[in-house]
C-alpha cells in the first residue's frame, strides 16, 4: 500500500510492465485455442502466473458475444456494454498481461506426444499444456431472414436478449428443454410467446413441458416450421408452414429466439480427446480432460450454463489447473 498526493491510501500495482509478445515464437508453456471469455480469461491468468502463453483465436475472435448487442448481465458494467466492445476490452487486457494472440485458425492438433503440437495452415506450435476454449455454436435454422436479422430481432440467447423485447410478441423455435426454458423466461417480458415446433410431440422433459403448457402467455404451433422471417430494419413478422395440412400462417412478432440446440466446436479433437455423444468434451476432474496436460474451459464442455461469465470462470479455473500441472511437471 502507498499514499497518493491527497494522502489517501491506494493499492500499489504488483505486476511489472508486460513485455511485448514475440509473434515469431513457436514454443510456449501454454497454448489456448479459442478467444471467447473462457480463452481470454485463461490467457490473463496464465500470463499473470508468468507462463509464456499463446492464444490462437481463430479467424473470428471474440466468440458468441461478437454477435450480440447489449450485454447487461456481465458484472462490472453498470450500464451494460456492447458484446463486441466487451470482447475487444478483454482482448486488450489479455495482451497487456503479456499473452501473445494470433488470429489464426487451428487445423490440427497432436496430443499423443509431448510437447503437444497445435498446427495452423502455416505454422506448427508447441506447448507443455493446452487449454481448449473453442466454445459452441448455436444451431441455425437456415431460413430466409435469419442471417440478415441476426442481432436485429433474431437471437440465440434469451437470457442475453430477452429484456430488449418487452411488451411485444416473441417467437421461440424448438421443442427441447432449451426452447421450453427460454419461452418460459421470455413470458416475463413478452405479451405472448409462440413456440414453433416441427413435430407433434415435444422433446423436452415432462416437467419443462408442463411448465410451458401451464403458462397462459405461451401459444404452441406444432407440426410447423418457419418459412421466412420478415421485417423492415428489424424483425416484424414470421411466416409458418404447417407440415400436416400445408396451411400457411403469419405471426406478428418483434423477435425470434432460435433454441434448436448447440454444437460444441470439437471436430478438431474427435480422435484425440474423450467427447460425449453430443460432442462436448468430457472433463475427468475439474477442468482436466482425459489427456494429462490438456484442459478445457467454457461452452466446449459446459452445455448447462453457457453464459459469458461462467465461461470466464471456467477459463480462470483451467489456468489455475494448468499452473498446478506445470508446477508438478
Ligand atoms: P435438444 O434437446 O437437442 O432439442 C432441440 C430441439 O430443436 C428439438 O425439439 C428439435 O426437434 C428441434 N430442432 C433441431 N433442429 C431443428 C431445425 N433445423 N428446425 C426446427 N427444429 C429443430 O437441444 P436443447 O433443447 O438445447 O437441449 C440440449 C441439452 O441440454 C438437453 O440434454 C437438455 O435436456 C439440456 N437442457 C437442460 C435444461 C434444464 O434442465 N434446465 C435446459 C436447457 C437444456 P426434434 O424434437 O424434432 O428433433
Give pLDDT tens digits for 170-214.
999 999 988 999 999 999 999 999 999 999 999 999 999 999 999
Q: Is 46 known to be catalytic? A: no
Q: Per-residue confidence at 6, pLDDT binned at 50, 70, 90?
A: very low
Backbone angles phi, psi at 275, to 5 degrees: -120, 155
Half-sphere CA count of 246, side-chain side, radius 13 A: 0
Q: Is the CB–ligand 1 distance for residue 279 below 6 Å? A: no
Q: What is the pLDDT of residues 106-165, one digit of tens each?
A: 999 999 999 999 999 999 999 999 999 999 998 999 999 999 999 999 999 898 899 999
Q: How many Å lie between the centroid of ligand 1 and the Cα of residue 11?
A: 48
Q: Start-end ranges of CATH 3.50.50.60 in the chain?
A: 27-138+262-328, 154-258
What pLDDT is recorded for position 1? Answer: 38
Q: Is the CB–ligand 1 distance for residue 207 below 6 Å? A: no
Class of domain 154-258 as given by CATH: alpha beta
> What is the arithmetic mean of pLDDT over 218-242?
97
CATH tag for 27-138+262-328 (out of 3.20.20.70, 3.50.50.60, 3.40.50.720, 3.40.50.360) = 3.50.50.60
Please provide the average confidence, as pLDDT, over all residues in the chain.
92
Check whether 67 has a pLDDT greater than 90: no
- The residue whose C-alpha atom lies closest to atom 3 belonging to ligand 1 is 261
Q: What is the pLDDT of residues 257-290, one digit of tens each?
A: 999 988 999 999 999 999 999 999 999 999 999 9
Q: Is the CB–ligand 1 distance for residue 174 below 6 Å? A: yes
> What is the arithmetic mean of pLDDT over 232-247?
97
Half-sphere CA count of 33, side-chain side, radius 13 A: 29
Check whether 21 has a pLDDT greater than 70: no
Q: Is 110 left (phi over 0), alpha (psi -120 to 50) or beta?
A: beta
| Model confidence, pTM | 0.76
Q: Is the CB–ligand 1 distance for residue 241 below 6 Å? A: no
Q: Is the CB–ligand 1 distance for residue 175 below 6 Å? A: yes
- The residue whose C-alpha atom lies closest to atom 9 belonging to ligand 1 is 175
Check whether 4 has a pLDDT greater than 60: no
> What is the arithmetic mean of pLDDT over 243-250?
96
**Cα-based angle 142, 83, 309 (whole degrees, multiple of 5):** 100
Backbone angles phi, psi at 92, to 5 degrees: -65, -40
Which one from 52, 160, 299, 302 is the annotated catalytic residue? 160
Amino acid at each position: 500500500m502507498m499514499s497518493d498526493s491527497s494522502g489517501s491510501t491506494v493499492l500499489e500495482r504488483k505486476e511489472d510492465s508486460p513485455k511485448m509478445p514475440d509473434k515469431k515464437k513457436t514454443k510456449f508453456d501454454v497454448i489456448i485455442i479459442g478467444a471467447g471469455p473462457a480463452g481470454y480469461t485463461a490467457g490473463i491468468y496464465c500470463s499473470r502466473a508468468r507462463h509464456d502463453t499463446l492464444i490462437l483465436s481463430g479467424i473470428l475472435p471474440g466468440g458468441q458475444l461478437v454477435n450480440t448487442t447489449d450485454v447487461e448481465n456481465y458484472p462490472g458494467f453498470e450500464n451494460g456494454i456492447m458484446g463486441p466492445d466487451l470482447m475487444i476490452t478483454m482482448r486488450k487486457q489479455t495482451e497487456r498481461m503479456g499473452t501473445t494472440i494470433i488470429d489464426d485458425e487451428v487445423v490440427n492438433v497432436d496430443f499423443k506426444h509431448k510437447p503437444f503440437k497445435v498446427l495452423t495452415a502455416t505454422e506448427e506450435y508447441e506447448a507443455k499444456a493446452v487449454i481448449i476454449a473453442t466454445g459452441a455454436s448455436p444451431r441455425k435454422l437456415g431460413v430466409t431472414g435469419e442471417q440478415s436479422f441476426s442481432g436485429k430481432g433474431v437471437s440465440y440467447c434469451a437470457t442475453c436478449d430477452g429484456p430488449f423485447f418487452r411488451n411485444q410478441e416473441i417467437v421461440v423455435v424448438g421443442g427441447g428443454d432449451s426452447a421450453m426454458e427460454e419461452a418460459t423466461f421470455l413470458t416475463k417480458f413478452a405479451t405472448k410467446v409462440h413456440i414453433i415446433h416441427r413435430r407433434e410431440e415435444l422433446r423436452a422433459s415432462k416437467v419443462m413441458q408442463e411448465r410451458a403448457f401451464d403458462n397462459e402467455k405461451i401459444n404452441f404451433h406444432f407440426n410447423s416450421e418457419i418459412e421466412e422471417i420478415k421485417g423492415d430494419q428489424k424483425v416484424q413478422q414470421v411466416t409458418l408452414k404447417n407440415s400436416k395440412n400445408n396451411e400457411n400462417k403469419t405471426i406478428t412478432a418483434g423477435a425470434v429466439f432460435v433454441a434448436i440446440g448447440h454444437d460444441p466446436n470439437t471436430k478438431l479433437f474427435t480422435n484425440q480427446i474423450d467427447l460425449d455423444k453430443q460432442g462436448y468434451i468430457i472433463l475427468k476432474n475439474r477442468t482436466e480432460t482425459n489427456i494429462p496436460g490438456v484442459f478445457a474451459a467454457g461452452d466446449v464442455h459446459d452445455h448447462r450454463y453457457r453464459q459469458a461469465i461462467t465461461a470466464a470462470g471456467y477459463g480462470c479455473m483451467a489456468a489455475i489447473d494448468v499452473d498446478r500441472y506445470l508446477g508438478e511437471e
